[in-house]
Amino acid sequence: MSEEEIAPRASPEEVGRLMRLATYASVTVATMLILAKLLAWSQSGSVSLLATLVDSVLDVLASLVNLLAVRHALAPADREHRFGHGKAEALAGLGQAVLITGSAGFLMVESLRRMLSPVAIQGHEYGMWVMVFAIVMTLLLLAFQRHVIARTDSTAIRADALHYRTDLLVNASVLLALGLSRWGWPGFDAVFAALIAVYILYSAWEIIVRAFDHLMDRELPDALRAQIQDIALKHPQVHGVHDLRTRRSGTDTFMQMHIELDDHLRLMQAHAIAEEVEAAVVAAFPSAEVIIHLDPQSVVSVEARQEP
């Protein structure tokens, strides 16, 4: 998770609604593009068109995996899963990475075969118009996914958006390859397909790294941790914060911290302060679950205040 990422700003109900809409939109767009690209490939025989067709087929499979994962991840916590089901998103991301890697291997083999045995491309115009259509639809979907990610910070939707950002480059490459072939440079078709395969592998690696961080309970970025501490320290009766621990599970954020209070406070007073700090943190991180431990200021050592 990068430093510039921010906390989810939508309510849990809005998060669920947006994530479901994003998965439905993704499946719908990918299905439309498969039909259009299948017709274009049957007309042209272009290997770069085949590359983007295979990529769109995998997008549908990945989007269906996302749809199922999002439904599972949004299910409320139960007796067997006290922290919810959010890590289903990261598992879906790993599944997408496997699909992407397989598609890249297939495209690499097919492009090498075409380099050794070139095939003339037919129906350039139809293929080029299909690529323009694919680029427009992909841009519209990415705009919606960007909105959903900004509101939910969903790992699954972010992985899906990475697919479609890859698709945007793929479609533009195919459009250029078809144009070059039409103007007497057919060899670029197989070359572009091979370059697409390499880029797809790079995209798969990005998804694997993000999903691995999620599954291994990586801490939130330093900027967000500092924001959490600042919120707690704004309370006039909180003298210090230490042992802050954070992790993500789907769209949920789990935080635990120790706050330092005056020694003389009664239990009910200390409890009220903890409730106020928790409310302030949840106001900034709507999907957060916060656990606060109370420490008398006099017993907190210098070492305890240092972050691990």
Report whether pLDDT(300) > 50. Answer: yes
Residue 270's pLDDT is 93
E-strand stretches of the chain: 240-249, 252-261, 288-296
For residue 107, being part of any structural domain is answered with yes
For residue 296, being part of any structural domain is answered with yes
Give 123-176 as a DSSP string. Answer: -HHHHHHHHHHHHHHHHHHHHHHHHHHHHH--HHHHHHHHHHHHHHHHHHHHHH
For residue 26, being part of any structural domain is answered with yes
Residue 260's pLDDT is 93
Residue 294's pLDDT is 92
Is-contact 237 185, C-beta < 8 A? Answer: no
* Spatial strand order in the sheet of 252-261: 240-249, 252-261, 288-296
Are 193 and 236 found together in one domain? Answer: no
Are 102 and 196 found together in one domain? Answer: yes
Share of the chain above pLDDT 70, in %: 72
Are 209 and 233 found together in one domain? Answer: no
Are 196 and 137 found together in one domain? Answer: yes
| The domain boundary residue, chosen from 215, 233, 265 | 215
For residue 4, being part of any structural domain is answered with no
**How far apart (Å, rounded) are the C-alpha atoms in residues 154 and 19?**
8
| The domain boundary residue, chosen from 215, 231, 260 | 215
Q: Which residue has tokens 């919810």?
A: 84
Q: What is the pLDDT of residues 129-180, one digit of tens each?
A: 888 898 999 999 999 989 888 887 776 677 778 777 777 777 777 777 777 7
Residue 158's pLDDT is 76
Q: What is the pLDDT of residues 108-127, one digit of tens each?
A: 776 777 677 665 555 557 77
| The domain boundary residue, chosen from 195, 215, 235 | 215
Are 39 and 130 found together in one domain? Answer: yes
Report whether pLDDT(190) > 90. Answer: no
DSSP lists the bridge partners of residue 259 as 241, 294
Are 58 and 199 found together in one domain? Answer: yes
Residue 189's pLDDT is 63
For residue 194, being part of any structural domain is answered with yes
pLDDT category at 8 given cuts 50, 70, 90 is: very low
- CATH code for the domain of 204: 1.20.1510.10
Structural domain count of the chain = 2
Residue 165's pLDDT is 77
Are 158 and 228 found together in one domain? Answer: no
Residue 293's pLDDT is 93
Q: State the pTM of this model.
A: 0.56
**Mean pLDDT, rounded, for 201-216:** 78
Report whether pLDDT(34) > 70. Answer: yes
For residue 146, being part of any structural domain is answered with yes
What angle is formed at CA 88 by the lines to CA 83 and CA 93, rounded to 5 degrees?
140
Burial class (CB in 10 A: 0-12, 13-18, 19+), 31: middle
- CATH code for the domain of 301: 3.30.70.1350
Are 65 and 203 found together in one domain? Answer: yes
| Ranges 20-29, 88-97, 228-237: which has the least confidence | 88-97
Are 261 and 151 found together in one domain? Answer: no
CA distance between the termini of the chain: 19
Report the DSSP pairing between strands 288-296 and 252-261: parallel
Residue 33's pLDDT is 85
Report whether pLDDT(85) > 50. Answer: yes
Are 236 and 264 found together in one domain? Answer: yes
Q: What is the pLDDT of residues 285-299, one digit of tens each?
A: 877 889 999 999 888
For residue 105, being part of any structural domain is answered with yes
Segments forming the whole domain that contains residue 280? 222-305
Are 53 and 119 found together in one domain? Answer: yes
Are 78 and 17 found together in one domain? Answer: yes
Residue 128's pLDDT is 80
pLDDT averaged over every residue in the chain: 77
For residue 1, being part of any structural domain is answered with no
Report whether pLDDT(95) > 80. Answer: no
Residue 272's pLDDT is 95
